[in-house]
């Protein structure tokens, strides 16, 4: 039971103590840095005296699903197949959410460890990630629990490995647009650590706070203070902690406080005529209130794909475009699966976002100046450990989290 496992070509040692891995959604490294500097994370500050504080990169597109699945599989989207929150399914020609495990091309670390006898607990904020992360776990084994805060009152033994998970947490089910949705995860996690004591626990929050509040601001600090308190409880229960983010987050507004949008579909319609290009924004999900479906990454399908190279070059000249690639170039640059991206891949500069056309983005729900992610500029993430961890390379990624925590900690 204790021999190392090979998962997707990487070898992992068995956890020596329960490992709690946390993916803090949208946690640009400055959030923890500022909260520590302001005295809001006393446990984490102390933890880092004997622990490890590294930095790494997320995968691009710096969105939630591709990165959570990269962390969970230890490999980039080229291998696991989840290239966005949303994509154009070439089989159906429909734009669909990438929430279905049928899009997953590899197993997860959780599945492999579970098959080798480990106890696994996974708690996510939104239900959209739960099925992907929990794929392949046998809930009838009594060794696997996986649910979301959002649907904690609907869990069953057959689907989630736990009957009425909500019953553990003495709080109402929070709104999907709240900080409490993330707090619920930690509250449930601490209780599961006590009652179920998993070998591996994976907790994945929502970036509701980070989309609205910059690092070091009072509400952001309050959110990080909340997490600090729960991390201390895990530590007190003898668990090791490994913390990262699915991606960072940056301000994306102009001097007037309006979202600084480059409407790519409008631009390409102007260049090529109507219906020659179809812009897909892989940030799109049903929960658009906090970002208006605006991020720093887009892919474009062309009717005439022989124009891809010429258009990629031309787009590079457009103000607000940081880089644009043909499918081939972009998939090499970012380790993406060719068949799940369009003919062009476009990333915007730090404070700019890419949209389709003005009519297709409802910005009326944006109450604060836009903060979002998706591009190269938003890929900085923390890699923070309660233990001494030896950095294995010059360039680390969030998907090295389990390798670092299991293989390189002392």
Report the interface residues with Zn ion, using CB under 5 A: 25, 64, 207, 246
**Rounded Cα–Cα distance for residues 209 and 131 (Å):** 24
Considering the complex, state which of residue 209 and residue 302 has its C-beta at the smaller distance from Zn ion. Answer: 209
Q: Find the shortest distance in angstroms from Cβ 213 to Zn ion.
A: 13
Q: Find the shortest distance in angstroms from Cβ 358 to Zn ion.
A: 21
Q: Find the shortest distance in angstroms from Cβ 211 to Zn ion.
A: 6
Kindly list the distances between the CA atom of residue 377 and the CA atoms of 27, 66, 200, in Å, as whole numbers in the listed order.
13, 16, 31
Q: Find the shortest distance in angstroms from Cβ 143 to Zn ion.
A: 28
Considering the complex, state which of residue 193 and residue 214 has its C-beta at the smaller distance from Zn ion. Answer: 214
Q: Find the shortest distance in angstroms from Cβ 175 to Zn ion.
A: 16
Considering the complex, state which of residue 198 and residue 295 has its C-beta at the smaller distance from Zn ion. Answer: 295
Kindly list the distances between the CA atom of residue 337 and the CA atoms of 23, 88, 239, 334, in Å, as whole numbers in the listed order.
23, 13, 36, 9
Q: Find the shortest distance in angstroms from Cβ 188 to Zn ion.
A: 20
- Tell me which DSSP letter residue 52 carries: E
Q: Find the shortest distance in angstroms from Cβ 26 to Zn ion.
A: 5
Considering the complex, state which of residue 18 and residue 292 has its C-beta at the smaller distance from Zn ion. Answer: 292
> Token match 């897909």: residue?
280
Cis amide leading into 345 (omega within 30):
no
Q: Find the shortest distance in angstroms from Cβ 408 to Zn ion.
A: 26
Considering the complex, state which of residue 64 and residue 349 has its C-beta at the smaller distance from Zn ion. Answer: 64
Helix (H, G, I), strand (E, B) or coil at 278: strand
Helix (H, G, I), strand (E, B) or coil at 125: coil
Q: Find the shortest distance in angstroms from Cβ 370 to Zn ion.
A: 11
- Tell me which DSSP letter residue 364 carries: T
Considering the complex, state which of residue 25 and residue 335 has its C-beta at the smaller distance from Zn ion. Answer: 25
As a whole number of Å, the CA-based R_g of the chain is 21
Q: Find the shortest distance in angstroms from Cβ 21 to Zn ion.
A: 15
Considering the complex, state which of residue 207 and residue 228 has its C-beta at the smaller distance from Zn ion. Answer: 207
Residue 95 burial by CB count (10 A; 0-12/13-18/19+): exposed, middle or buried?
Answer: middle
In the complex, residue closest to Zn ion by CB: 64
- Here the tokens at position 288 are 């658009």
Cis amide leading into 168 (omega within 30):
no
**Rounded Cα–Cα distance for residues 177 and 287 (Å):** 8
Considering the complex, state which of residue 179 and residue 240 has its C-beta at the smaller distance from Zn ion. Answer: 179
Considering the complex, state which of residue 207 and residue 403 has its C-beta at the smaller distance from Zn ion. Answer: 207
The answer for residues whose C-beta is within 8 angstroms of residue 334's C-beta and 6 or more apart is: 59, 60, 61, 76, 77, 345
Kindly list the distances between the CA atom of residue 384 and the CA atoms of 49, 122, 161, 175, 356, in Å, as whole numbers in the listed order.
12, 19, 29, 29, 37
Considering the complex, state which of residue 207 and residue 335 has its C-beta at the smaller distance from Zn ion. Answer: 207
**Rounded Cα–Cα distance for residues 15 and 104 (Å):** 25
Catalogue the E-assigned strands of 71-228.
86-89, 94-97, 120-124, 144-148, 200-204
User: Which candidate, 351, 349, 346, places its Cα nearest to that of 371?
Assistant: 351
């Amino acid at each position: 039971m204790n021999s190392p496992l090979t998962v997707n070509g990487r070898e992992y040692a068995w956890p020596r103590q329960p490992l709690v891995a946390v993916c803090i959604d949208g946690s640009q490294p400055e959030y923890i840095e500022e909260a520590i500097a302001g005295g809001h994370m006393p446990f984490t500050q102390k933890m880092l005296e004997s622990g490890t504080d590294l930095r790494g990169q997320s995968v691009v597109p710096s969105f939630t699903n591709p990165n959570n699945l990269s962390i969970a599989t230890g490999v980039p989207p080229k291998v696991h197949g989840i290239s966005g929150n949303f994509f154009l399914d070439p089989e159906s020609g429909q734009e669909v959410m990438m929430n279905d495990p049928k899009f997953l091309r590899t197993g997860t670390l959780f599945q492999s460890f579970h098959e080798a006898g480990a106890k696994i607990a996974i708690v996510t904020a939104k239900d959209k990630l739960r099925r992907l992360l929990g794929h392949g776990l046998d809930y009838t084994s009594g060794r696997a629990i996986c649910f979301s805060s959002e649907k904690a009152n609907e869990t069953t033994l057959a689907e989630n490995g736990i009957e009425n998970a909500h019953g553990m947490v003495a709080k109402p089910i929070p709104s999907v647009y709240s900080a409490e949705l993330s707090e619920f995860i930690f509250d449930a996690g601490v209780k599961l650590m006590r009652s179920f004591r998993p070998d591996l626990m994976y907790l994945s929050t929502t970036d509701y706070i980070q989309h609205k509040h910059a690092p070091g601001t009072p509400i952001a600090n309050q959110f990080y203070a909340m997490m600090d308190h729960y991390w201390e409880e895990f530590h007190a229960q003898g668990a090791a902690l490994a913390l990262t983010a699915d991606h960072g987050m940056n301000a994306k507004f102009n001097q007037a406080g309006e979202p600084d949008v480059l409407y790519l579909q409008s631009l390409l319609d102007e260049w090529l005529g109507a219906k020659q290009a179809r812009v897909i924004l892989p940030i799109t999900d049903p929960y658009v209130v906090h970002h208006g479906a605006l991020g720093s990454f887009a892919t474009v399908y062309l009717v005439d794909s022989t124009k891809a190279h010429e258009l990629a070059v031309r787009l590079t000249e457009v103000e607000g475009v940081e880089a644009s690639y043909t499918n081939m170039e972009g998939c090499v640059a970012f380790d993406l699966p060719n068949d799940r991206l369009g003919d062009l891949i476009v990333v915007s500069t730090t404070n700019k976002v890419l949209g389709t056309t003005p009519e297709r983005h409802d910005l009326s729900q944006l109450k604060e100046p836009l903060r979002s992610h998706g591009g190269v500029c938003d890929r900085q993430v923390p890699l923070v450990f309660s233990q001494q961890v030896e950095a294995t390379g010059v360039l680390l990624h969030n998907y090295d989290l389990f390798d670092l925590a299991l293989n390189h900690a002392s």
